[in-house]
Structure 1
Amino acid sequence: SAEKRWRRIRGFNDLAKVINGVKFRDGVEVSSNADESRSAA
């Protein structure tokens, strides 16, 4: 379906971020600041 294809295209764009060490949680990019505040809560 178009939705799966769109996810595949977006995933390819995010692949560079993953290689650069950007963390993702449930498919959403997580910044280091947000990650720290969640773990502290």
Structure 2
Amino acid sequence: MCTDSGVPQGQYSRIENGKVEPSISTLEKLAKVFSKNKF
């Protein structure tokens, strides 16, 4: 997923673990990936 979103893996991991809060632009990138990959 990190490759698809353009968000570095380390940054994604820190967001996922609650160590940092993502910026609006990062949230937008991740939202695009999630909307493409519906479960």
Q: TM-score range by the shorter chain?
A: 0.3 to 0.5
Q: Which one scores higher on RCO, CA 8 angstroms, separation ≥ 6? A: 2
| Structure with greater Cα Rg | 1
> What TM-score do the two structures reach when normalised by structure 1?
0.35
The answer to which structure has the higher strand fraction is 1
